[in-house]
Structure 1
Amino acid sequence: MPSCPDPQAEGAPAPPTAERPASFLLLLPGVPALLFALVTWQIVADGPLLHVDERVSRALVHPDRASELLSDLGGAAVAVPVLALVAGWVARLGRAAGTRRWWLPPLSAAVLLALVPAIVVPLKEWTARHGTPAVPPGVGYYPSGHTATAAIAYGSATLLLLPLLRSARSRRLLVAGCLALVLGVSFGLVRHGYHWPLDVVASWCLCAVLLFALWRFLERVGVTGRPPSWPDPPPPRASPVREVPDR
């Protein structure tokens, strides 16, 4: 019987491997990065996009107590303790379970949050964008620091918690809750007039790249991307059979 030809020996293309989807994932942060570069260029060059931004802001600004409370959720006084509590709890669980490098995910999230002012503050000084008419005159409003703090703090906390959830539904609810919280902060900042809409959009784009990098890092070290191995429940004990006396 003739042997089957070897596809590799015949020069046939190799079958698709798992590396191709991983390579495709690396392209995902490209879109927000390009959008961030475009918006930043418009801010620096005083481009036509700023006029659209100002019209949208005038239509949305209406300072009230609700928008102030929403924007406060993006402050360091709220967002940082939330991430600290989640990171501490995840670290405690990992150490108790004897997980290898249990300290790495919480530390990575903390380092990423510490990088936010190191990135945002120089951008504020460089762009020197003025604020909306609802705030005192001044510059340094681009990008939005509150939006970046909220996105990184709550987003990092979500990435730390995802591997601990057993069902896909609970993980979807957690991600949806995180998105709703960040969007709520963003809306509050624009609604109250603390920031122009493009200030918030730029922070979204910037934080999408940073959170993608954190997710890929945690996935590479094997601490995210899949739920933990939960122990199987013990089998039910069989009830002892009583012998019936022979009568």
Structure 2
Amino acid sequence: MRLPAALTDIFRRLETVTLAVIMVIAAALWAFVAIASEMLEGDLHAFDEAVLLALRTPSDPSNPIGGHQLEIAMRDLTALGGVSVLTLVSLVVLGFLVLRGQRATAVFVGIAITGGLVLSYIMKTGFSRPRPDLVPHGVDVATASFPSGHSMMAAVTYLTLAVMLARSEPLPRMRVFYIVVATVLTVLVGSSRVFLGVHWPSDVLAGWMLGAAWALGVWLIARELGHRRQIEPDQADEA
């Protein structure tokens, strides 16, 4: 069966990298939907409990493994996904872009991160999953559990900032550096939420998937806007 000529032309115009990113976004969204579906049906309860208990002393579930110092470190790491820290980091990067003369990009990034925050709020409100009550909470929490807001917003913010900073960097190794740092920060924030007992593991996985899909979608839109000169173009393309 042959594809229509118009559809064939679209595929020819799309770059390999763009197609790969679209596939990753689709996979991440599929994973989020699958996790959400399994969560609503209660099929993830055994998995969630097993992971939470694995991070606790077998004789005393109220005591996390690794001792008091590790728990303090996890509280420090979880703060990297809080609204205050993410806002501060975002403002610093936006200021950097403005000083570099990339004002249109700065506005675009600000809108993208704000949009991710709104999406996170809508998702939390829509699912309204209760927080874990299996172990004591290591930090105070006030909102619903699914998806993890810290995990999602860490992915949205750090990965979005990373891909947008990478666009202004012609050196491939620096681009990789931005992405790796953002990914590590995102993983640490999400892992800390499970360790501290304030999120089920499935909450964090869902937050990562949705946040990563959002950041990659932002990159695709930025790439198209850059080609149209509506924001500053990708430096690699310019080179």
- Shorter-chain TM band: 0.7 to 0.9
TM-score (norm 2): 0.78
2:23 is paired with a residue whose SS is: coil
2:100 is paired with a residue whose SS is: helix
Cα gap change, 1:210/1:192 in structure 2, threshold over 3 Å: closer, same or farther?
same
State the match for 1:3 in structure 2.
none
1:123 is paired with a residue whose SS is: helix
State the match for 1:43 in structure 2.
39
- How do residues 55-66 of structure 1 correspond to structure 2 at under 5 angstroms? 55-61=50-56, 62=64, 64-66=71-73
1:33-57 deviations in whole A, cap 9, x for unaligned? Answer: 11100111122222x2221122112
Cα gap change, 1:78/1:206 in structure 2, threshold over 3 Å: closer, same or farther?
same
Distance, in Å, in 2 between the alignment partners of 1:177 and 1:56 is 26
Q: 2:21–2:216: 8 Å Cα contact kept in structure 1?
A: no
- How do residues 58-97 of structure 1 correspond to structure 2 at under 5 angstroms? 58-61=53-56, 62=64, 64-94=71-101
1:79 is paired with a residue whose SS is: helix
Q: 1:162–1:224: 8 Å Cα contact kept in structure 2?
A: no
1:130 is paired with a residue whose SS is: coil
State the match for 1:129 in structure 2.
129
Q: 1:108–1:214: 8 Å Cα contact kept in structure 2?
A: no
User: Percentage identity across aligned positions?
Assistant: 21
Q: Which runs of 5+ in 1 are unaligned?
A: 1-12, 95-101, 231-247
State the match for 1:119 in structure 2.
119
1:218-238 deviations in whole A, cap 9, x for unaligned? Answer: 1112245543758xxxxxxxx
Q: 1:131–1:138: 8 Å Cα contact kept in structure 2?
A: no
Which residue identity is paired with 1:110?
A: G
Q: 2:159–2:212: 8 Å Cα contact kept in structure 1?
A: no
Could you tell me which of 171, 193, 197 is aligned with 1:193? 197
Which residue identity is paired with 1:68?
A: R
Cα gap change, 1:77/1:159 in structure 2, threshold over 3 Å: closer, same or farther?
same
Cα gap change, 1:86/1:138 in structure 2, threshold over 3 Å: closer, same or farther?
closer
Cα gap change, 1:139/1:176 in structure 2, threshold over 3 Å: closer, same or farther?
closer
Could you tell me which of 26, 32, 36 is aligned with 2:22? 26
Could you tell me which of 151, 155, 160 is aligned with 1:151? 155
Distance, in Å, in 2 between the alignment partners of 1:214 and 1:42 is 28
Distance, in Å, in 2 between the alignment partners of 1:60 and 1:103 is 45
Which residue identity is paired with 1:130?
A: P
Cα gap change, 1:17/1:165 in structure 2, threshold over 3 Å: closer, same or farther?
same
Distance, in Å, in 2 between the alignment partners of 1:28 and 1:117 is 21
Which structure has the highest helix share of the two?
2
Q: 2:163–2:178: 8 Å Cα contact kept in structure 1?
A: no
Structure 1 residue 141: Cα displacement: 0.6
TM-score (norm 1): 0.75
2:236 is paired with a residue whose SS is: coil
Could you tell me which of 197, 217, 225 is aligned with 1:221? 225
Q: CA RMSD in A?
A: 2.6
Structure 1 residue 134: Cα displacement: 2.1
